[in-house]
Amino acid sequence: MVALGNAIRETRLELRVSQEELAHRSQIDRAYMSSIERGGQNPGIISLARIAQALGISLSDLMARAQL
């Protein structure tokens, strides 16, 4: 989960998007997004798909960035 969280955070920072904005675009609570990025949550497939879409990448690209 830590690798996935790091991949989300690194991609978000590359795009210069705030965590709050990514949460909004993903329709996910900001506190939940924060926990995902820290590796404290195991997000479901729907949440991951929303995050990937909000980042403008495919879910498979997100998984590849996390080396999963």
Domains contained in the chain, CATH given: 2-65 (1.10.260.40)
Lookup result for tokens 């990448």: 57
pLDDT for position 27: 97
Taking the C-alpha atoms of residue 46 and residue 18, their distance in angstroms, rounded to an integer, is 21
pLDDT value of position 25: 97
Q: What is the mean pLDDT of each run of 10 residues along the chain (68 residues)?
A: 96 97 97 97 96 98 96
Q: Contact 37/47 with Cβ under 8 angstroms?
A: no
Token pair 């909004």: residue? 24
| pLDDT value for 37 | 97
- Residue partners of 61: CB distance under 8 A and separation at least 6: 52
DSSP 57: S
At residue 46, the pLDDT reads 97
